[in-house]
Amino acid sequence: MVVAVFPVAIVCCVCVFVTLGALFTLFTLARRKDDEEIKQNLAAYEDDDGIATPEAIAAFSDLAPRLTLAASSIAGLIASIGLLYGRNDWLDWTCWVSVAAWVAVLIQTAALNGLKSPVLRFNVGLSLAVQAAVITAYSLYNGYDDLEGNAAVIVVAQAFFGFSTWLAAVSIPRRPDVERDGQIVDGMWTSSAFDRWEFIHVGCDRKIADGCSDTLSDGEDDFSTRHGIHRHFRYHPVDF
């Protein structure tokens, strides 16, 4: 009984995560005409932290991760269909769950590319990252028995495309560099989720400062104050 219930429970978890992610994307699309969508576009970006200069807007780009996200989603969908072919069982409902999940991710990826606000694209990217992680884990679970058969390459490929989808989704930067009172705001809420986890924004803050030194002089204990980086922190919940 446990053996029969466990796969169903796994499938239900996959469906729940993907469905919630899709609903979040739909909710994001529903509010795209708000003032935030008008303000937070790459024509003239501004938010509560500051305003992006024309140079910062010109330097900002999230095209590479978005293209990688789209390519990985398409490849993942093809791989999931390929597993059906490899098993030679077109009625295998466990494989169709993967196919449906990849279709949902692909549709949301297309919706993400239609958003003008980089912040909203960032938020949808986080949702897609969670879904991609779930799909990757499920593809390995569902294809475990195929790892010693002819479909082993397809299973590995689907897991790889799931990981690349996740990596592309968390690599989408949140916004261009913004300034407040002529100083660049701390990059924690500017960089991508991946960079934030790796604390790469700390190194970027230091590179921004001209003539920065590795050590603090006597009586100076604030690097950002000495080098023109404005450490302005604000509570940033996910923008629902």
Buried b (16+ CB within 10 A) or exposed e, 113-135: eebebbbbbbbbbbbbbbbbbbb
Q: Are 113 and 139 in contact (CB under 8 A)?
A: no
Mean pLDDT of 148-156: 81
* pLDDT at residue 69 tops 90: yes
The contacts of residue 1 (CB under 8 Å, 6+ apart) are none
Q: Are 95 and 142 in contact (CB under 8 A)?
A: yes
**Which pLDDT does position 31 carry in this prediction?**
67
Which tokens belong to 142? 């569902």
**Which pLDDT does position 228 carry in this prediction?**
42
More confident residue, 157 or 40: 157
- pLDDT tens digits, residue range 179-229? 887 788 877 778 888 887 765 544 444 444 444 444 334 444 443 443 344
**Which pLDDT does position 74 carry in this prediction?**
96
Mean pLDDT of 108-128: 89
**Which pLDDT does position 102 carry in this prediction?**
93
**Domain ranges (residues) in the chain:** 2-170
What does 11-67 look like in DSSP terms, one character per residue?
Answer: HHHHHHHHHHHHHHHHHHHHTTTSHHHHHSSTTS-B-SS-B--HHHHHH---HHHHH
Q: Residue 180 — φ and ψ, nearest 5°?
A: -135, 125
Q: How far is CA 203 from CA 50, 162, 206, in A?
A: 21, 29, 5
Q: Are 69 and 109 in contact (CB under 8 A)?
A: yes
More confident residue, 6 or 97: 97
Tell me which amino acid residue 21 is. G
Distance, in Å, from the CA atom of 30 to the CA atom of 114, rounded to the nearest integer, reads 12
* pLDDT at residue 34 tops 90: no
Which tokens belong to 239? 């923008």
**pTM, full prediction:** 0.74
The region, left, alpha or beta by phi > 0 then psi within -120 to 50, assigned to residue 219 is left
